[in-house]
Each structure stands twice: as C-alpha cells, then as structure tokens.
Amino acid sequence: MTPRLELAEFPEPERAAWRLASVSLGAFGTRGFASLPLESGARAFVLVDDAEVPAAGFDGGALTGLLDRALNLFPYDPRLTVAGYLRRHGFETRESADGRQVQGERDGYAVAVRFTEDDLIAAVSHGARTGPQSARTVSE
C-alpha cells in the first residue's frame, strides 16, 4: 500500500489541518506544533523546531491509548502506523509470519501489537524482555 494523506473526508477544514499538522511532525522531525486562533476566526498551525523543547519519549503506560488515537487519525494501514511509531522511538520492528502482529524491540524492552482480521487492535503487550516471550498484556 502506498502511504497517503487523505483530507477529503473531513467536512471541517480545521480537522484536516490537525491531521496535516500531525503528519508534519513526523515528516519534518519536529518536536511539536501549536494551534493558534486568528482574529478572522481561522487558526494558524506552527511547527516547533527548537532543541530546547523536550522530545516526546516512549511511554509504555500510554501506548494503548496513543495507538488507538493514531489509528483513528491514520486508519489506512494500521500495521504500518504502529511500526512507524515504534521505529520513530528507536525500536527495531518486524511483522509476524501471519501478518497479525507487529513486534518491536529496543534495549531489552519489547512491544507486541496483535490485530484482528478486521485490522483492529486485539491486544498490546510491552515490558522488559525476559525470554522468548515478551512483556505483560496491558490491553485486550
């Protein structure tokens, strides 16, 4: 599948702008964006590219909710979205042979995201890798 950014489905231009701003973070490697109201009632979106702004780190405790929000924003290829998020945070990723799970590992920490046949998240597990199996399940 070719990655794409669909904006046509948004009835309100502001929602499309939020998606575009979110995509811009990854495309430009910036650390955040600000949305500011203008006197005209429109909004301006400004990318923040300042080394003084702390980079968002990986947070295993927030992982399930974050992936749910990301897949709502980018629903076209859930496995690619999950793998991209993990790679952005330094994980080496791979997909299971049956294509139903994306796995990532970094510095002895493992993440596994299992999908249903309908490409919905079935389970997310993460934690210190202690052997051939990783982690603890935090969402099913």
Q: Nearest to residue 91, comparing CAs of 107, 78, 104, 81?
A: 104
Domain ranges of the chain: 1-56, 60-139
The answer to whether the predicted template modeling score (pTM) of the entire model surpasses 0.75 is no
Q: How confident is the model at residue 29 (pLDDT cuts 50, 70, 90)?
A: confident
In this prediction, residues 45-69 reach a mean pLDDT of: 88
In this prediction, residues 15-31 reach a mean pLDDT of: 84
Q: Express as a percent the part of the chain with pLDDT over 70.
A: 87
| pLDDT 10s digits, 83-127 | 999 998 999 999 999 999 999 999 999 999 999 999 999 999 999
Residue 122, C-beta contacts closer than 8 angstroms, at least 6 positions apart? 100, 114, 115, 116, 140
